[in-house]
Amino acid sequence: MSIKLEMLRVFQTVAEQGSLSLAAGRLGRTPSAVSMMLSQLEDHVGDRLFETDRKNRLTPLGLLVLEESRRANHAFARSTEAIQRHAKSTAGYIRIAVVPSAIVTLLPKVVAGFRQQRPDVRLEISDVDSASVLQRVQYDEADIGIMSATLPQEAQGTVILTDRLGIACHKDRPIALAHAEGAKATWDLLRHEPFIANPLCRAVAVPLVQDLLLACNLEARNTMALLAFLRSGIGATILPQSALMSDPDIRFILPEGPAAERRLIKIHAPDRNLSPVARLFWDQL
């Protein structure tokens, strides 16, 4: 007898609930039926999965099986959701993971143009940081990703936008006031107030910025969080001007000297073909 997905689902529920009765109630089965399925699973793997009959402590093998059960059940749930989403749309759907700054500066025009051509296609858009964009594409949780890249080796996709990085701060903070009073626009302005780190900062090949990164005790990886900190006057950071959403309370200063750039790149999993509608969206990007 082979291991069935339902066995893994039952085992995971028992392991997480810590007792047969609680698991049976959650599964809508009798405790005896749950116990029988656990016995079948243990017979198949060839050893005990629980240390005692109380089912509240896993053996080392049980811990391994629990990890694999979670992975298998998660994959099944994701596939089921994908089928259901597709069934709701006669033409299919596209899952897009994108960094927040691209949602503001890039995506509205693309989505508007795409929906004029294919209003029957379901679009699911999630805003996450660059690391999460990459992860979602790799794990087939997104068909297309749009992420920020600051180094050449990161740009394994296709570059769709390039913009300069500069200093961002609240309009009433020392950096903005110093610049308004005639201070030279250089990266040295960052000395005037606390520094907020973010992944884009590593693209600035200036010793001062790298020193600030090492000494910084506040980092935010999401554009929305960075903008909230800037509006609150907590400090200054480095961002592209396009990420500031024309916020009247935030000042952007483009320093002289070494230029630093942020690129937006579009990615998809190279081992999976895009559907025709996803390919159309990809091309419009």
Residues 20 and 73 in one domain: yes
CA distance 86 to 69: 26
Given 87, 117, 142, the domain boundary residue is 87
Domain limits for position 27: 5-87
Tokens of 133: 């964009």
Residues 147 and 277 in one domain: yes
Instruction: Report in angstroms the alpha-carbon separations of 64 from 1, 2, 44, 124.
Output: 20, 18, 15, 34
CA distance 249 to 33: 63
Residues 237 and 279 in one domain: no
Domain CATH code at residue 95: 3.40.190.10
Residues 148 and 278 in one domain: yes
Residues 257 and 271 in one domain: no
Q: Give average pLDDT by consecutive 10-residue segment, the chain, 285 residues.
A: 86 90 89 90 89 86 91 85 63 86 85 92 89 88 88 68 92 92 92 92 90 93 88 94 84 89 90 88 94
CA distance 15 to 149: 42
- Which pLDDT value is given to residue 259? 85
Residues 153 and 268 in one domain: yes
Residues 54 and 108 in one domain: no
Residues 210 and 96 in one domain: no
Residues 170 and 153 in one domain: no
Query: What is the phi/psi pair of residue 44, to 5°?
Result: -75, -40
- Which pLDDT value is given to residue 151? 54
Residues 136 and 271 in one domain: yes
Structurally, the chain folds into a number of domains equal to 3
Domain CATH code at residue 29: 1.10.10.10
Tokens of 177: 């006031």
- Which pLDDT value is given to residue 255? 94
Of residues 163, 172, 169, the one with CA closest to residue 190: 169
CA distance 96 to 99: 10
Given 71, 87, 103, the domain boundary residue is 87
Residues 166 and 212 in one domain: yes
